[in-house]
Structure formats: C-alpha cells, structure tokens
Amino acid sequence: MVLEVKNLSKQIRGKQILSDISFSLGKGEVLALIGPNGAGKTTTIKCIINAIKKDEGEVILFGKPFANEVKTRIAVVPEDRKVFRNFTAADYRSLWQSLYPAWNDQFFKDFVVKYNFNLNQKVESYSIGQRTLFLLGLALSSGTDLLLLDELTQHLDPTIRNEVIHLINQYARLGNSLLVSSHEIFELEEYATAFAIIKNGKVLYTDSIDDAKQKHRIIRRGESFKEGEVIGMIHDDILLKTSDDIGMYPKLNQIVVGYLQGKSADLILAEDLKEN
Ligand SMILES: Nc1ncnc2c1ncn2[C@@H]1O[C@H](COP(=O)(O)OP(=O)(O)OP(=O)(O)O)[C@@H](O)[C@H]1O
C-alpha cells in the first residue's frame, strides 16, 4: 500500500471533526474521498501530510509512519489554491525544482507550452481554473509517486475539467497513486478506481468501485429480499448490500447517495420485507 490511514481522529476547538477514519490507497490507484461540504475531507488530507496534527490513529506512507523525508515523495494541490504573492510561474518552477529531487523539467516545459502558460506572469493573476491547472502541472512534474488533490475539479469549466481528468488518468497509468477529494459524485467514475464515502467526519464505506458494485443491488421500494442490509434510499429505490442476485447493479453515484442518505425510519421498516 502507498497510503494507509488507520483510525484517524481529530478534534478542533473541542469539536470532533474526524472520528476513526480508515482507508487505504494502492499503487496505481485513484481513490476518491467523497463527501458533502464540511464532511472532513480537507482535514483528513491535512492530517495525512502533517499540516495539522492528528489526535489519534496512524498514517502509513510507503509502508512507514509519516516522517519529514517522505514529503519529497508527495505533492499536494490544496483546496484554497493559495499561491505566494508576486511569484511568477518561473519562480514556482525554481522552487519546486529545488524541493523535489525527481522533478521532471521536460514534462513541466511541455505542460507549459501545451496549456499556453506565460512563465513570466504572476500566478496570483491567473484565473482560478488556470491556477488549478498550473498547480496540477507542478504536482505532475514533481516526480512524486503520490498526489493529494483537494477538490481538484471544483470551479473548472468543462474543457479544463476534462483536461484535468485526462491528466489524472495518465498519471495513474504510470503506476502513481492519487487521492482526490470531491463532492462531485457524477464525475467520479471518470477517474477513480476506489472511493471512501465520508460524512460528519466518519467513513461510511470504502472499497474499490468494481467490488462495491458487486456487493450492492438496487431494488424497488416494497420488493422483498432474502439476504442483505438496507443501506439507504435513492428516490423510490433502495440500496441493498447483499450477495443475492436480485434487482439491478447500482451505478457508483447511486451507492454514494444511498450511503449518504442512510436509512430513514420507514426504510428500517423495509427491512421487514426480508423473506424468512
Ligand atoms: N480551523 C478550524 N476551526 C474550526 N473548525 C474547523 C477548522 N477546520 C475545519 N473545521 C471544521 O471541520 C469540518 C470539516 O471541514 P473540512 O474542511 O475538512 O471539510 P470538507 O469535507 O473538506 O468540506 P468542503 O467540501 O466544504 O471543502 C467543518 O465543519 C469545518 O467547519
């Protein structure tokens, strides 16, 4: 495993922000950390890179507990896209080149040409979409084997969004690993191979996309079933975790919605439809 997060917990100002968060990311995988606003995605990423101190739990990177040396093997695009004042794209290139021993300057040069970046322009003057693309370009050029990308596709027009997703896939195909936080559930299958659903600082479910689809079915409300657990409601359908071959296989976004919605009182009653 490239990254293992085990039983991570964090309180901020007396409020429990993360509770017992666990998931893992393998080589060449893209794990989507998916959840609504305020779920704890950014806090999880900050704990992984030790930008904020975790209270409990373990973060294992490349088989070892987090240590400062590992920072040169990880590149991050933060959610706020904050950049240094007065720093040009060329300044950023020099900085990242000095920080990352495996920096790939040819990749960076090609990236700058392909996306038409002016190296003499201040990065703070880029639009939010250009800034996101540029920061991703730095991360992809860093030569690291793990990227942490916080809400990467947020505020992007469809053209840049498609480019960004293409770049994520290309980087993963080279055997690198990516953790991408998002609340955009409809785009997940374009890049993710695995996912962790997070809500109120807890992981509700984590799995590879293929395995998750195998383990769940969508049945009509009122339809009876022999074996399984009712997970949640998706409009008039029910998401069921079951080994029975009933109903329909779910799409990833249906699995996410089912877990996020959870069981309401009338859905708990639906468990009574289980055949004895
Ligand atoms: N420094 C802080 N002080 C107080 N509360 C904080 C702080 N940082 C985070 N929180 C709270 O922790 C919770 C999780 O925030 P976090 O930014 O991790 O969520 P998120 O899933 O990344 O959300 P979003 O999708 O909106 O970016 C929120 O309720 C947030 O208000």
ipTM of the complex as predicted: 0.95
Regions of the chain short of the pLDDT cut 50:
276
Other C-beta atoms closer than 10 Å to the C-beta of 15 total 8
- Which of 43, 76, 79, 183, when mutated, tests ligand 1's pocket best, judged by the most ligand atoms within 8 Å of its CB? 43
- Is the separation of the CB atoms in 188 and 195 below 8 Å? yes
Nearest CA to ligand 1 atom 17: 42
For residue 276, the model assigns a pLDDT of: 47
Question: Left, alpha or beta for 129 (phi > 0: left; psi -120 to 50: alpha)?
Answer: alpha
Element (H, E) at 269: helix 265-270
Which tokens hold the place of 232? 């949640």
CA–CA dist 59, 56 (Å, integer): 10
CA–CA dist 132, 83 (Å, integer): 11
Other C-beta atoms closer than 10 Å to the C-beta of 72 total 15
Give the helix ranges, DSSP H, for 120-248: 128-141, 158-173, 209-215
Other C-beta atoms closer than 10 Å to the C-beta of 174 total 9
Topology (CATH) of 3-200:
Rossmann fold (3.40.50)
Which tokens hold the place of 239? 């998401």
CA–CA dist 267, 219 (Å, integer): 12
Residue 36, Cα to own-chain centre: how many angstroms? Answer: 12
> What is the CA(52)–ligand 1 centre distance, in A?
12
Q: Where are the domains of the chain?
A: 3-200, 210-272
Nearest CA to ligand 1 atom 30: 38
The bridge status of strand 202-208 relative to strand 194-199 is antiparallel
CA–CA dist 24, 178 (Å, integer): 11
- Which of 17, 79, 154, when mutated, tests ligand 1's pocket best, judged by the most ligand atoms within 8 Å of its CB? 17
> What is the CA(83)–ligand 1 centre distance, in A?
20
